[in-house]
Amino acid sequence: MDGVFSVLDPLLSGLGHMVDPLCGPVGVFSFFPPDSIVACGATGWGDEIAAGLKATLGLALATLPVGLTLGFFIALALQSSEPALRRAAGIYTTIFRGLPELLTLFIVYYGAQILIQSAFAAMGFDQRIEINSFFAGMIALSVVFSSYCSEVLLSAFRAIPKGQYEAGDALGLSRTNTMVLIIVPQLVRIALPGLMNLWMNLLKDTALVSVIGLAELLRQTGVAAKVSKQAFFFYLLACALYLVLALLSSFVLGFIERRVKRAEMGR
């Protein structure tokens, strides 16, 4: 197995390098002269910024499935017939929609650190523990994403007529099957515009994780700005790269939306 990976790994990284939009053979930064400040090498900041862009995208893409799943179950809890469940889910959304994202991030980051440290201290180990900022950022952003997502999904749930559930019952489908086969496909269609907005917000919120030290886009450009003393250029570059990410995702999301809308055409 190890042998397969040792062959695959350089192959994959080589492939990744080929299509790298910033530092690859046809990357943006490779059009600049090799001694320029954004060149991809030891002298320029191009490769660092490219790595930061990858970290930003990776964080957003890792947060999305967790946040969506959590948000789906919280939306289910919010529309449950059980008052206790509704109340508990309501507390969750109130807290995480009321707190600034930056504060949630700090609370998760330092809170997890203190919790783990005190747990270790209780077991007899005494050492400083620093948790991974990617992981902390992912948890904090997922929690924030899920609480907004639950709100979007809840209003989508309300837009689906009750007859759809009754039809599922009449066909003898189980609860799970009704949900998966009948409700969710319609839910996605209704909730998609709201979810697209949330994705854009998520992409922007990843910038906050730079504050707890994740080497993502804004952090990397910030380091470059401090070292090279060209703050304006590098922060402008950061803004431009975020804009490119937003543009690209609106293209992709537009494609998904058209694709999902196809089912509606027949009606």
Span near other proteins by CB under 8 A; candidates 12-20, 40-48, 83-91, 172-180: 83-91
Cβ neighbourhood burial of 105 (10 Å; 0-12, 13-18, 19+): buried
Please name the amino acid found at residue 79: Q
Residues 6+ apart with CB under 8 A from 234: 45, 221, 222, 224, 225, 228
Span near other proteins by CB under 8 A; candidates 63-71, 78-86, 188-196, 255-263: 78-86
Binding of other proteins by 101 (CB under 8 A): yes
Residue 113 CB, nearest distance to other proteins (Å)? 9
**Distance from C-alpha of 88 to C-alpha of 249, rounded to nearest angstrom:** 34
* DSSP structure class, residue 100: -
Q: Which of residues 200-239 bind other proteins (CB under 8 A)?
A: 200, 204-208, 210-211, 218, 222, 225, 229-236, 238-239
* DSSP structure class, residue 182: I
Binding of other proteins by 87 (CB under 8 A): yes
Span near other proteins by CB under 8 A; candidates 105-113, 120-128, 172-180, 187-195: 105-113
Binding of other proteins by 129 (CB under 8 A): no
Binding of other proteins by 161 (CB under 8 A): no
The H-assigned helical ranges of 124-183 are 133-159, 162-170, 175-177
CB 217: neighbour CB atoms within 10 A? Answer: 26
Q: Which of 6, 13, 80, 132 binds other proteins (CB under 8 A)?
A: 80
Binding of other proteins by 120 (CB under 8 A): no
Widest CA span in the chain: 71
**Distance from C-alpha of 213 to C-alpha of 208, rounded to nearest angstrom:** 10
Span near other proteins by CB under 8 A; candidates 31-39, 74-82, 121-129, 151-159: 74-82
> What is the contact surface with other proteins in residues (CB under 8 A)?
77, 80-89, 91, 94-95, 98-103, 106-107, 110-111, 114, 200, 204-208, 210-211, 218, 222, 225, 229-236, 238-239, 242-243, 246-247
